[in-house]
Structure formats: structure tokens, C-alpha cells
Chain A
Amino acid sequence: MSADIDRSSPMTLTTEQDPRQPGRPPAPPAPAAPADPGQEQTHGRAARLRAALGTLAAHPGLLLAVLYLALILAWTLAPSLFAGTDPLRTDPAASLTPPGADHWFGTDNLGRDLYTRVVHGTRTSLTAALIAVSLSLLAGTVLGVLSGYLGGWVDQTLMRCVEVLIVIPGLLLSLAVVSILGFGVTNVAIAVGISGIPAFARVIRAEVLRIRSSVYFRAAVTSGTRTPVILLRHVLPNASQPVLVLAALEIGGAVLSVSALSFLGYGAAPPAPELGAMVSQGRDYISTAWWLTTFPGLAIALIVLCANRIGRALERTGVR
């Protein structure tokens, strides 16, 4: 669905002059417009890559988001390359140093370097968020395919179960799951993943229903293709795109949820760096050391902003 604007409308003529607006998805061109990079013939990888690069060049905000997320992925893969010191090393002599040349983001009450802790904390939070989204994606796919493919009472039962998960607000559901599983980053990731299942299950189910009514699906069934082959060759590949878009959009939310649970004290155990937990620890010093809450908070916000920006770009160009 696009938020396209009919430029012939008298209302929009007066209000919408600049279609390239940062901060929200720019109005995509009308389907017939030949300039849209997403619409170009996508024969071959090279053409698709060129189209993607063109999209990036046309949207500086998106380019920034991609670059920042690339940096964060690099932090996650090799934190010691970007922050040489140990995030747990204390230095009581340098405690609560304000941001400066020695300590870019300052130090905390134990003299630990905040920049190092943010790098490692980002790694923890992002990894947990990725685990959470993978779990939602996998479980949601299984539920959605079963529901949409089998139909009947299976569909009814599964969708009722999914509805139960929707009725409970996401954060409350994750908290309840954490109270059962116990505390810790992995359990927080699982809990956040579980609360993300309904969205994926519903999207997959809708896709499967759409595919079931297609000609190629009926052709495959009629020609005697076995069910697993139908699922793997016809259903899953065709259902994958909207699901991957949803996954991209969910990463931002998962980072928020993971850090919120850690902030409340159910995630990483104290010495280990995690962004939400760091904000929580910095709370005791908000009147004296603003940097302790500001930098980890900002780090969370930037990840979420970038992930959402990229997710929405995928949503615009990807789904057909």
C-alpha cells in the first residue's frame, strides 16, 4: 500500500510541493512512471544492484541509515577492532570523567570507558534483537504455513492461539515469559521473539492463502507434486518478500523491547554491558553525569531509527 498523492487534487497542489521529504517515505512515483528504480526491469543481479544503488543515491537519509547500520554490524562482529579496551576494566582514578579526548563518551562511576561499553552493549542488544526476530520469523512461518495450508480446524485453532497472544500487550507478554524462563539476555531475546510471533503468523497465513488461489499452485497440485516440494518450491519463496520486509521493520521494535526489559533489570547481569541496562545504571547519576544515560540512550534510538528507515524503504520498493 502506498501513501501516494494525487497531484491533480486541488488540496494537495497547495500543500504538497516537495515530494522528497526526509523523515518519512517520499511519495513513490505513480506505477506507470519509468524513473522508479524499483520498477525497472530487474533482470540479473547487476541491474538489481544498480537499481538499489540508485535508490540509495536518491535518498541521503536512507544512505546514512545503511552506513550507520553497517558500522553497527561491524561493532557487533568485531567489537575489539573499534574499542580496544576491556568494557569491564575499571579505573577508579578516572571515575565519572566527562566526555573528552581520552574517553570519547566519558567514564562511569567505576571509571569504565563508556564508548567501549556502548560498542559492546550495542553488540549485546543487537544480537538479542536479531535472535528475537529470527525466532518470531521461524515460529511465525511454521504457524502461518500450517494455518494457511491446512485450513479447517487447524487454522481455526492456531489463529485463536495467535489471537490470545495479540490480546496481551507485547511488553507485558515478554515480561510474563521472562518471569517464567528466568532472567538473562538470551531469555529476554526469546521472550521478545515470542511476542513477535503473531504478526509473522498472520502475514504468512495471508500470503499462503493468496498463493493457494494462484494458477501455479493449482498446477503443481494437479501434476502430483508432493506437499513438501510444493511448500519449499512454490509457497515459501513466493511468501518470503513481505515477511522479510516485516522482519526488517521488527528489528527496530525488538531492539526497543530488549533494551526496555534490560532497563527494568531482567536482561544482562550487572557487569556485562547492555544498552538498556546502561541507561538504568546511569539513572543514579542523572544530575551529575548526563553522559551515562545520554550516550547509551542515543545509541538505542539511532539503531531503531535506522532499522525503521531501511524497513520502510524495503516496504516501498519490495512488495508487489
Chain B
Amino acid sequence: MRTKEQPLIFEMSRKGRKGDSLPELDVPDVSVEELLGDSYIRKEEAKLPEVSELQLVRHYTALSNRNFGVDSGFYPLGSCTMKYNPKVNEVVARMPGLSHIHPYQPEEQVQGALELMHELQESLAEMTGMKEVTLQSAAGAQGEWTGLMMIRAFHEANGDYDRTKVIVPDSAHGTNPASASVAGFDSVTVRTDERGLVDLDHLREVVGKDTAALMLTNPNTLGLFEEDIVQMAEVIHEAGGKLYYDGANSNAILDKARPGDMGFDVVHLNLHKTFTGPHGGGGPGSGPVGVKEDLVPFLPKPLLIKKEEQYTWDYDRPQSIGRVKPFYGNFGINVRAYSYIRTMGPEGLKQVSEDAVLNANYLMKRLEPHYDVPYPQYCKHEFVVSAKRQKDQGVRALDIAKRLLDYGYHPPTMYFPLNVEECMMIEPTETESKETLDEFADALIAISKEVEENPDYVLEAPHHTVISRLDETTAARKPILKHEQ
């Protein structure tokens, strides 16, 4: 169902139209020239669109109709935890005392906000088995970097300047090695073995006196719990390194296994994943970081503490790595996460993990006869299938993803992790019903039949979206990044 393209907002612009409602100036008027030197005054106006309010609303409504969210349909994007975003979270985040407070108001004017943040910090510390949590990091990747910077500061405080390496499994999220680089480390890859888990022998080979940390996602990106975690922690700790937990995949472990108990020293969480902050089309997120006791002195400053029944910002932290973000983090996302935690409570969160794991295993089982499942043991919150079988018939995983669009689904995470051929990484989440899982499985099974019977139809997919496959090569070769007016 192709529709005609939606014009750019600039293409609807007509000189003289307005969408704003600025009040009359009520102070004595003075010329701009009098207030600013001539060289400072802008000569040519920025070419923003000139449209009426209804035109604006119709334009963005039309754009929203060309977009797909969790509310539109099933969105099993692996490692992204596209669960339901509760509506009440949006209501509480917009309360005036939470939405319209300035970060430089004196502490006594914002005690409610500080209490909320402190409660959230404590809940997250309890869930992860960490001593203290900072809410300053903006997103998962910034949390990773913040954690690694603390590990660096810890080693340096011990006079240990030669720990230049961070070990990262080959199945790790791309942000892990990128964060290691940004924090000034070199990354070393540790292999995945035939079980889909970190190769313990290889880990023993690559670890050494230069090891600053091991970054690990557990359950890993294949959706498997790293059963050897206790031994791995021993290997790293004996070598003097620290264990970093990438909490992007924590939806499976709530009340089941705390990173702190597994031996991790630093944890970041993606509040926009496990804790229902809406993904917003790519953000904003929030990436709090928790640490064990020996790393507490290095937390970013300021740190929120409770002192004589008052909440206050502690800036007097001489060993802190400093500031990673202005103000106190993405407060608005933290409000939503706290709302979710209070909605679920301890029993609810435990059920979340159980249902997330149940859903993933059920879906995997249903797909197993039709797609290669490289790691058929029980998975956690997500699993991977390979379209190797279909590739032999000339249809790639990408084509299957495009065909899924016709069936009304958002495709899984594609071609990741990198160590699985023609990989599709599927994370159903706990908020999906059995009926939805069955319908999705039926769609993938139907596509596998189409691959056998009418592969061209799959290769030409999608057929029912507003636009067909886009020319990404030209887009990258001759980039057009803005509209020329």
C-alpha cells in the first residue's frame, strides 16, 4: 500500500504564516541596534518553516502514521527490551512539581524530587547488589564509559597505571568496545565457545597484569546465562581486574540473580529498557551506574545523599572521576522508572523476569522446526535464530525481516551478535500475550514456507509499507543531510 510521499515541513511554508502566539512586548521598546553592536545582529533570518498550527499538527500526525511503536504492534527487537510503556508513567512525569523544576533551585525547594531520586537509587542498588548508585549517566553507553572511568580511577589510585586493556566477548554489544576506547583503553576480544558462552580457557589466556576489566552482559546477547560466571569472576579478580556488568539485558534476572552476587564490581542499567522508560524513537534514555564499596569514592559528583532527614548533593568527593553530565542526569526518565518499580513491587518484578524468560523459550521452541537455532538450550529473555537454511535457498535474514514488515511486525535485531551467521535476535518481553507470540511464530513459519515456494516474493518485500527498500548506498556515498532551500 504505497502512499505518496509526505512533503517536508519546509515545502509547506508560505511567507507570513505563523504558528506561535507571542504576547505583546510590555516593556518600553528599544531598538535592537541600541542593545547589540551591529556586527552581532543577525542579518538573514534562519529559514524555519512558516505554517499555521493546523498544518503543523497535520504534518506531524502524518509523520506519526508513518512510524511504528510498541503501541502499534509487536516489536521483538533483541537487547532493546521493547516492552509496554505504561501510560501512568507519562502522567506522573508531567506533574508540574516534577516537570517544571529548575536544577539550580535550592535543595530545600526540591526535596520531593530528591526523595524520589534517592528512593530510586536505593531500589536499584538493592536489585543489583551494589553499594551505591549514581543517576547521572544519560544512557547505557554513557553508563559504560562512566563505569570504566571509575575502574581506571580505582587502579590509578592504587598506583596501578599499566592496566590498559579491557576484555570484551565477541558477542558483546558494539558500545562495549567503543566505550573502552573512549575511556582510553584497548579492547581485547575473548571468544565464545560452542556452548555460546565465554570460552573460559581463552579468558585465562587473555587475562593478565594489564587487564583493567572484563565487560560482560549476562545473560549474554545470545540470551544465555554465563554459567561459569563465578569462575570468570575469580579469574579476573585474581589478576587484579574488575568486572563490569552491561545491564542492557537485565530483564531476565530481576530477583533471580544479582550482578553483585555474581561478582560484578560495576553495573549500569538501561532504565529505558528493563524499567519501561519509553524509547522515544532513539532516546532519551537513562543509564544509572552502581558500584561495590571499593569503587564508591570514584562515583561522579555530585552524589545524592541523605543527611539528617534531608536530601542533599555531596560535592566534597576528592576522588570522584568528576562530572559526566550536566545537572543530575535524565531526571524525567528516572521519574518514569521509579513509577514502574513502585507499580510492580518485588513480586511483580520477579514475575516480569519469569514471564520474559517463559515467553522467549516458548517462541524459540515454536520456531525451532523452521529456523536454525544455534543454541537450543533454555534461553533467558532473548534468543537467536539463524536464517542459514533460508540463505541456502537464496533468501537472507534481511529479506525475512523486510517480509515481516508486511505481516505488521517490527523485525528482530538483525545480524547481531556478529558470531552467528544470518542472525536474528528475538526478545519478546513479558508484556506480550501468548496469542501475540503464536501469531508472530505463525508469520515467521509462513515466511519460511514462502522462501521455499515463492522466494522472489520474499526478496521483493516489503510489499505493504508506505515505501519500498531504500537506496542506502547512494545515501552514504552522496550524503544529503539537510534540505536545501
- Chains A and B are bound partners: no
State the A residues within 8 Å of B (CB): none
